Amino acid sequence: MDRGHVVPPSILAPPTATSEGEQEMFLPGETHRLELTRERGIVTEVPAGSEEQLSAPGDETMIINLGPQHPSTHGVLRLMMELDGEEVLRVKPVIGYLHTGMEKTAEDLMYIQGSTNVTRMDYLNPLGNELCFSLAVEQLLDLEVPPRAAAIRVLMAELCRINSHLIWFATSGMDLGATTVMIHGFRERELILRFFERTTGLRMNCDYIRPGGVAADLPDGWADDVAEITSVIPRRLDESRNLLDDNPIFRRRTQGVGILTREEAVALGATGPILRATGVAWDLRKAFPYSGYEQYDFEVPTHDDCDVWARYQVRVAEIYESARIVEQVIETMPAGDYRVQDKKVTPPPRHRIDTSMEALIHHFKLFTEGFKVPPGETYVAVESPKGELGCYLVSDGGARAYRQHTRGPCFYHVHAMPAMMVGGLVADAVLVIGSSDPVLGEVDR
Amino acid sequence: MTDTPPDTPAADGQDETPARDPAGVGRAAPDGPTLGEVEGVVDFTPEGEQARTQPPTPLLADVLTRFPDTAWDVSHGQEVVFVPPDSLLDVAAWLRDEAHFDMCVDVTAVDYLTHWDRAMGTWSGERTRFEVVVNVLDLGGEGRDPRRLRLRVPIDEEQGRCPSLAFVWPLADSAEREVYDLFGIVFDGHPDLTRILMPDDWEGHPLRKDYDTGRIPVTFVGDTERPSRTPVRFEPTASTRAEGDDEGDGTDG
């Protein structure tokens, strides 16, 4: 089949060598009308009179690939674009290059192992994934974690949000050629990762938040470490922002670029900073508070411009808000248990295993057979740095999840990209990718 | 239950409404369904029957009166509606246009091959192997509180078809491709029903419960000429036949 390449097919590799076949973008005449509108970024309704224009075969256009191995795609995202010169006419994301079947794997893992699996999905927000999964399991168990565990979870989730936004800040600066902010972003993130390592033993994929609480109590001197983070990062971020905020090049590259209106964002399921950049003050921490977020005082930053600039402003403002929440957690951290004292769920303390046969057996049974969860199904959503991170969990009464589905915000943001890119230039498309902050581990799962 | 006057049977369900948390994401309501209720003792008196069959929330009652072939459940404080595939598009259009459920957050599916005795609320229709699960969201505003609703659509194994929601909520376009890819459920009316995560030539649908993990070795598109990567499960395809000729012995050709 002619794929619309301008290059004669004879000098191309055999069509199966790099082709994803049916999942690719085809010529306008070979594409379903609705799909064509989607590729052209039309979400709500087709404008009158554009029917013929939609299906007109492009003779001066070409279909090219951006990615999957392209430094600006933030992973293995592949975008097929129909271009007219430098103008983007149609976009189709082709995903699946990082698909490792994590939802299938979850069906073979006990609930106690589940955190290890989900933490690898959005690898810039590992603790948020664990939090979402643990809340779902706890809801099926009808379990409420102690206040200290909930506060530790909020602390770690907010540090993770700062971590994720710093990576976004660094890499989207890099997309513009601003290497200084890239270095700055990674430098600041290092503080957080060092704290994660001290607390959980790992820098990423921490497996720290587990059903029933957290894996270990905070280390001695944690408050000083975190206080240093919350004092250093906002100050340094001020410096880094000075490089971008009033930079005329940055403003011209981002303002008015990659527009996604409120209606489009809602229709395409775009959540998080992308939705908030359309003026909607939507945050699950406020709308459906979980893990005690209602105790903390913070703002939901919004912006009305709907463009890359607006998303930049919203995310940067969120870093300051997260730092505010973390400061409040330091002040109000309750004493008590860091995990629920329910022997069905919680293993015995390590020192008791050395002295008590029962504790040893209990520990052994818990880690070989797991704990059983009553039958049922639930959907739990948390506000991840990217948007609504949901976990749909079904239990059949056994020790392993019958079905564990993760609703990844990035999956839908990737499919909202055509609406943001079409009509712009290829160079702007790179900014759109950066501003929607995709993590392909979560898209493909 | 014993001191409830017999002439106000619906009072049970009504009284429980504020205690349950329709938002769902928060911690479980203190007097929500306890483990005992979930697992076993069901009240079979007429009052109990009525309390169980009357929708406990205004939203569920509204859906049930408009669409009599649906059924409801409250699962851990979350409102759930069972919708037969035939009326899915009507329910979805009503939810979006009249009930302010502007956003569909997720479409997924479950294969209940080994779990037929699952709780299905007041659903009295046939139990099916698959269920398509649609989570919708009302963002609130204009005096309304944000709320969620979950649609569970029983899908027959033989037919394996479900109407596509891509025209109601554009998000369903990509989500339904994922469900088709991983479960093999066909969405009627979907404009581009292709695989999305797996390669085009992948055999089977991995999230089905009868899909044996590890049965098929990892294959990559375009590597069919390399004998080491051919599937273990031998079926006469063009490439295996060609290799069979090289090895010669034992095959009929």
- Sorted by where each starts, the structural domains of chain B and their CATH numbers stand as 16-25+42-203 (3.30.460.80), 212-248 (no CATH)
CATH number at residue A240: 1.10.645.10
C-alpha span between A380 and B148 (Å, rounded): 11
Is residue A39 within 8 A of residue A90, CB to CB? The reply is yes
Among B35, B135, B200, select the one facing A23 at the smallest CB separation: B200
The mean pLDDT value of chain A amounts to 85
Q: What is the pLDDT of residue B244?
A: 44
Top-confidence residue, B208 or B243: B208
Using DSSP's 3-state secondary structure scheme, residue A78 falls into strand
In a domain, A2, yes or no: no
- Taking CA atoms, A331 is separated from A158, A197, A213, A231, in Å, by 15, 22, 20, 14
- Chain B interface, best mutation among A377, A388, A442, A444, by max B CB count within 10 A: A377
* A41 three-class SS: coil
Lowest-pLDDT range of B86-100, B107-121, B233-247: B233-247
Domain contains A432: no
Query: Lowest mean pLDDT: which of A115-124, A243-252, B17-26, B91-100?
Result: B17-26
Q: What is the pLDDT of residue A57?
A: 57
CB of B182 closer than 8 Å to CB of A429: no
- The Cβ-side half-sphere exposure at B51, using a 13 Å CA radius, reads 21
Q: What residue of B is the nearest CA neighbor of A34?
A: B191
Query: What pLDDT is stored for residue B12 in this prediction?
Result: 42
pLDDT above 90: percentage of residues in chain B: 17
Helix (H) or strand (E) holding A82: strand A78-84
CA atoms within 13 A on the CB side of B53: 12
pLDDT digits (tens, 9 = 90+) for A278-317: 989 899 998 899 998 999 999 999 999 889 999 999 999 9
Tokens 């900073």 correspond to A273
Cβ of B173 and A415 within 8 Å? yes
Looking at the fold, whether A261 and A148 belong to one and the same domain comes out as: yes
Q: What's residue B48's pLDDT? A: 59
Average pLDDT over residues B76-99: 90
Domain contains A250: yes
Residue A440 buriedness (CB in 10 A; 0-12 / 13-18 / 19+): buried
Residues of B in contact with A402 (CB under 8 A): 110, 115
**Chain A nearest C-alpha distance from B244 (Å):** 22
pLDDT given at position A11 = 36
Is the model's pLDDT at B95 over the cut of 60? Answer: yes
Q: With CB atoms and an 8 Å threshold, state whether A394 touches B206.
A: no
The CA distance from B232 to B86, in Å, is: 41
pLDDT for A329: 92
How far is B185 from chain A, CA to nearest CA, in Å? 16
Q: Which residues of B touch A103 (CB under 8 A)?
A: 182, 207
Residue predicted with more confidence, A141 or B36: A141
Cβ contacts of A158 within 8 Å, gap of 6 or more? A322, A323, A325, A326, A329
- C-beta atoms surrounding B1 within 10 Å: 9
Handedness of CA A438, A441, A442, A443 (dihedral sign): positive
Distances (CA, A) of A93 to A54, A96, A424, B33: 19, 10, 16, 44
Across the interface, of A34, A394, A444, the residue whose CB is closest to B110 is: A394
Instruction: Please name every residue paired with B72 in a beta bridge, in sequence order, or none if there are none.
Output: B81
**H or E stretch at A386:** none
Residue A383 lies inside a defined structural domain of this protein: yes
Same domain, A139 and A256: yes
* Domain identity same for A181 and A328: yes
Q: Is A275 in contact with A249 (CB distance < 8 Å)?
A: no
Count of domains in chain A?
A: 2
Query: Which of B25, B171, B173 is facing A381, going by the closest CB pair?
Result: B25
- pLDDT beyond 80 at B251: no
Nearest alpha carbon to residue B151 among B137, B140, B166: B137
Domain span at residue A47 reads 9-94
Nearest to B105, CA basis, from A264, A290, A128, A268: A268
Percentage with pLDDT > 70 across chain A:
91
CA B54 to centroid of chain Cα atoms? 23
Q: Are A105 and A118 contacting, i.e. CB atoms less than 8 angstroms apart? A: no
Residues A193 and A340 placed together within one structural domain of the fold: yes
Can you give the pLDDT at residue B123?
84
Supply angle C-alpha B13, B19, B24, rounded to 5: 105
Q: Which of B101, B173, B197 to mutate to test the interface with A (most CBs of A within 10 A)?
A: B197
Tell me which of A146-155, A208-217, B28-37 is least confident: B28-37
Confidence bin at A147 (pLDDT 50/70/90): very high
Q: A439 lies in a domain?
A: no
Please give the DSSP secondary-structure letter assigned to residue A339.
Answer: B
Asked whether A271 and A282 are in contact (CB, 8 A), the reply is: yes
Q: Which pLDDT tens digit goes with each residue over A353-373? A: 889 898 899 889 888 888 899
Residues facing residue B187 across a β-bridge: B162
pLDDT of residue A394: 93
pLDDT of residue B230: 43
**Are A215 and A297 contained in the same domain?**
yes
Cα–Cα distance for residue pair B247/B225, rounded to 1 Å: 15
Binned at pLDDT 50, 70 and 90, residue A83 comes out as: confident
Contact present, A417 and A436 (Cβ < 8 Å): yes
pLDDT, chain B, mean: 73
| Nearest CA among A433, A440, A412, A442 for reference residue A81 | A433
Please give the Cα distance from B106 to B117 (Å, whole number).
25
A375 CB neighbours in chain B (<8 A) are 38, 115, 118-119
Shared domain check, A220 and A297: yes
Q: Choosing among B78, B106, B107, B116, which should be mutated to test the A contact, i.e. which has the most A CBs within 10 A? A: B106
In the prediction, which pLDDT does B7 show?
43
Give the per-residue pLDDT at B179.
Answer: 92
Angle between helices B88-97 and B58-66 (to 10 degrees): 130
- In angstroms, the CA A57 to CA A30 distance is 9
- Peptide bond preceding B68: is omega within 30 degrees of 0, i.e. cis? no
Banded model confidence at residue B98, pLDDT cuts 50, 70, 90: confident
Residues A132 and A185 in one domain: yes
* Domain shared by A80 and A136, yes or no: no
Tell me the per-residue pLDDT of B121-130, one tens digit each, with 9 for 90 and over.
Answer: 888 888 888 9
Which of chain B's residues have a Cβ under 8 Å away from the Cβ of A387? none
Q: Which residue has the higher pLDDT, A129 or B54?
A: A129
Q: Do A96 and B135 touch (CB under 8 A)?
A: no
Q: Which of A51, A67, A94 is the last residue of a domain?
A: A94
Planar angle of CA A412, A418, A423, nearest 5 degrees: 155
Name the residue of chain A whose CA is nearest to B116's CA.
Answer: A396
Confidence category of residue A19, pLDDT binned at 50, 70, 90: low
- Strand pairing of B147-155 and B78-82? parallel
Quote the CA–CA distance of B72 and B173 in Å, as a whole number: 26
Of A96, A144, A390, the CB nearest to B105: A390
**Chains A, B: CB pairs < 8 Å:** 168
Same domain, A384 and A307: yes
| Interchain CB distance below 8 Å, B213 and A104 | yes
Q: Nearest 5°: phi and psi at B74?
A: -120, 110
Q: Averaged over B168-187, what is the pLDDT? A: 90
| Domain C-terminal end among A39, A69, A94 | A94
Rounded CA separation B37/B55 (Å): 17
A412 with B140: Cβ contact below 8 A: no
Length of chain B: 253
CB B200 to CB A21 under 8 A? yes
The reply to whether A139 falls in a domain is: yes
Q: Which single residue is written with the structure tokens 């989607």?
A: A38
* pLDDT in the model for residue A85: 84
Q: Which residue in the set B35, B102, B222 is minimally distant from A266, CB to CB?
A: B102
Verify that A29 and A134 share a domain, yes or no.
no
Asked whether residue A301 is assigned to any structural domain, the reply reads yes
Q: Which of A94, A114, A139 is the last residue of a domain?
A: A94
Which amino acid is present at A211? Answer: P
- A79 and A107, same domain (yes or no): no
pLDDT number for residue A58: 58
Q: Check whether residue A272 and residue A366 sit in a common domain.
A: yes
Residue A45 has pLDDT above 70, yes or no: no
Contacting residues of B for A394, CB less than 8 Å apart? 110, 115
Would you state the pLDDT for residue B220?
A: 58
Instruction: Give the one of A19, A101, A378 whose C-beta lies nearest to B78's C-beta.
Output: A378
Question: Considering the domain boundaries, does residue A398 fall inside one?
Answer: yes
User: For testing the chain A interface, which of B21, B27, B200 should be mutated: the one with the most A CBs within 10 Å?
Assistant: B27
Neighboring chain A residues of B105 at a CB cutoff of 8 Å: 269, 271, 381, 388, 390, 407
pLDDT at B135 over 90: yes
- Residue A292 DSSP SS3: coil
Joined tokens for residue B116: 């037929």
**SS3 string of chain B?**
CCCCCCCCCCHHHHHHCCCCCCCCCCCCCCCCCCHHHHHCCCCCCHHHHHHHHCCCCHHHHHHHHHCCCCEEEEECCEEEEECCHHHHHHHHHHHHHCCCCCEEEEEEEEECCCCCCCCCCCCCCCCCCEEEEEEEEECCECCECCEEEEEEEEECCCCCEEECCCCCCCCHHHHHHHHHHHHCCEEECCCCCCCCCCCCCCCCCCCCCCCCCCCCCCCCCCCCCCHHHCCCCCCCCHHHHHHHHHHCCCCCC
pLDDT value of residue A148: 92
